[in-house]
Chains A and B, each alone.
Chain A
């Protein structure tokens, strides 16, 4: 399963949501499908995409918030999973693309390659719904279920360690930030 195929499968489910991605391949792939003003690509601060999503979800309870996280990123902020679970916003879907690798910085293996189980960690942290998926169809179904059920869900999508050919973007960080913020405040 490729991450970009997962993103493509649910791209049309994202028009009104506040979407936050991590840096690197995930940001580049979502943008390659077509940038929208409701997409914010957190191009640094590894680990904090989920915390940013929690802040958004608590302050905008009537809006759907989606975080596209990664194994390397969430492993940097496992404590944040317990904070997510503690407040368990019903309007947040937390997707973790797990390629068992720090792909964007040379492909070195993360601890999920040696058995650490993020879906299990999320469940044990107290996230109300936590699922692991291995095919694009399973992913799309799990994603739509999570939107429909309105309960905090962590979806761990086991994907191949393959990214885009290029990571460059013509979207300046601050342009993205102010555009997204304007959308979020509507």
Chain B
């Protein structure tokens, strides 16, 4: 599977380096290595969800307990989490570090992913969620650290969009 294991390792290491100790996740193709790394890591609590919105509650509980967390989801999972984001994270000022695989953008071959790609950024903007793109290996560590810092200082959700150029390695023809 041409999901980049090396770049997934970079992302995972950056999460560890900024103190993340709990990860909630619902699998999708681009996230497989990240989820496996969390599962193999005895220092990490991995919570496998049935639906992404649960992750908002899990992260709120972790925050109340003083534990830093991150959410791994696809953009359709972000769309499925919106009420929890608004009526828990925004209402109660809960920091969320959301790593969202940004499917349905330029280069997407899978027809079913394309509609989510059309609305992801505008939905983040409508919700007032600050976001950045993770597309360059050199910036992964810094952008994740900065996003985590902003989430904690502002007590609000912050998103990082995992981009095709980072997560996917086209097999050579």
Contacts and interface: CB of A to CB of B under 8 A. Distances in A.
Q: Do A and B come from the same complex? A: yes
Number of chain A interface residues as a range: 35 or more
Contacts of B92: 173-174, 177
Contacts of B47: 54-55, 58, 83, 87
Nearest to A65: B61
Interface string B72-103: 00000000000110011001110000000000
Nearest to B55: A51
Nearest to A55: B61
A59 B59 CA distance: 10
Given A77-B54, A83-B50, A184-B66, A55 B87 contact: no
Contact of B62 (A42, A55, A82, A174): A55
A68 to B, nearest CB: 15
B65 A52 contact: no
B150 interface: no
Nearest to B92: A177
Interface residues of B, number: 30
Given A79-B51, A83-B50, A173-B91, A56 B83 contact: no
25 contacts: A45-B57, A45-B83, A48-B54, A48-B88, A51-B55, A51-B57, A54-B57, A55-B61, A58-B22, A58-B45, A58-B47, A59-B22, A59-B45, A59-B62, A60-B65, A79-B49, A80-B54, A83-B49, A83-B50, A87-B47, A184-B64, A184-B66, A185-B64, A185-B65, A185-B66
Chain A to chain B: the 6 pairs with minimum beta-carbon distance, closest first? A55-B61, A51-B57, A79-B50, A48-B57, A59-B65, A45-B88
Interface of B: 22, 45, 47-51, 53-67, 69, 83-84, 87-88, 91-93
Interface of A: 18, 40, 42-60, 77, 79-80, 82-83, 86-87, 173-174, 177, 180-181, 184-185
